[in-house]
Amino acid sequence: MHLGRNRSGEIKVPMMNVAVSPSATGCDSPAADIGWSARLDLMFRHDGTRTVLQRNRHHGPLRVQRPFYPEGGICHVYLLHPPGGVVAGDTLSIAALCGAESRVLLTTPSAGRIYQSNRRRQAQAQDVHLEVESGARCEWLPQETIVFNDAEARNDLRVDLAAGAHFTGWEVTCLGRPAGARPFVSGRLRQRWSIYRGGQPLLLERNEFAGGEAQLSEYWGLGGATALGALVSTCAGGDIGERLRNCIDEVCGMAGQQVPADDCTRPATVYNQAPGSVCGTDMPLYRAPLVAVTELPELVVVRALGDSAASIKNVFFRLWSLLRLAQDERDPAAPRIWFT
């Protein structure tokens, strides 16, 4: 590199190889709008004795190291995202094709995090597309997603089922971090579930949660819950709905799941009160998660509200075990990563 001098004798340093960050200039540059895109493309097939991971393609920081087999022929796969969180402009795209008669369980090693967006309010997105062929079963069981205050989050899940295919999946979401006195008072979360069989919709559901809005605190909305979850399964029909409700009663208990509306008049600002505080008392807002079961023609849907992801996951784990027992007539082996 050649160093020249100006008329004052000062050394001039060429700037062509010097990168200046947006924070240094005090403004968002076009480069800061690009974000970080990551893609994962998986294909599974049944080889006669077990399910194998036939295709594993990735782009960016999203990958699978290797499959695990704690249940014989059922293929357990951990989806790894080394950055540990999604920032403004990031997009994660996950696609999995489960071939005929395959058995696949997809999960994550830790909670996902959607951090605060930037001044341009760029979206932070995750798109998941699962295709399940005839006779196959796919389980989508990620750990919880934590949506930070001021995030602009979008989370879409699409499942395409062939005739005779089965699916069980859940999503558990935490809005803000109330335990750290950082509630979800600004930002937005958009969630969408789309489940089809043979091109015909079985479930189309769209939710949108805006930070600080009344829907988070009022009884007609989340009722002050800071964690919510949904579990959906094609293991429907017969007495499965009743068995799920009995399991929920056992885990949660029938009494004191939520403070009745006539106990007191809840102020609109209850979401910003100290966690566990209701109407200025020390009465817990959710002694246990509030859980409901809906039976549809080909699906059973379980929805839950609570004050922590752990409490909802505890219920969902028990329900998943029951569903798997009904399908395989044996108790499942949970992924070891859930307990480490």
* 86 within domain boundaries: yes
What is the Cα–Cα distance from 246 to 315, expressed in whole angstroms? 12
β-pair partners for 300: 233, 295
Alpha helices in the chain (DSSP H): 22-25, 240-252, 309-328
pLDDT tens digits, 132-183 = 999 999 999 999 999 999 999 999 999 999 999 999 999 999 999 987 788 9
Q: Is position 183 within any domain?
A: yes
What size, in residues, is the chain?
340
Lowest mean pLDDT among 20-34, 127-141, 219-233, 263-277: 263-277
Residues 6+ apart with CB under 8 A from 1: 14
Per-residue pLDDT, 253:
78
Number of domains, the chain: 1
296 has a pLDDT exceeding 90 = yes
Asked if the structure places residue 51 within a domain, the reply is no
Instruction: Classify residue 317 by its DSSP letter.
Output: H
Domain containing 125 equals 78-90+109-339
Which residue would you say has higher pLDDT here, 287 or 297? 297
R_g (Cα) of the chain, nearest Å: 23
CA atoms within 13 A on the CB side of 82: 10
Asked if residue 39 is part of any domain, the answer here is no
Q: Is residue 66 part of a domain?
A: no
- Give the span between the Cα atoms of 294 and 29, in whole angstroms: 48
Asked if the structure places residue 26 within a domain, the reply is no
**What's phi and psi for 154, nearest 5 deg?**
-135, 130
Query: CA–CA separation, 191 vs 210, rounded Å?
Result: 12
Residue 71, in any domain of the structure: no
Residue 96 lies in a domain: no
Per-residue pLDDT, averaged over 290-305, amounts to 95
Task: Return the closest-CA partner of residue 174 out of 136, 156, 147.
Answer: 147
Pairing mode of beta strands 188-197, 152-161: parallel
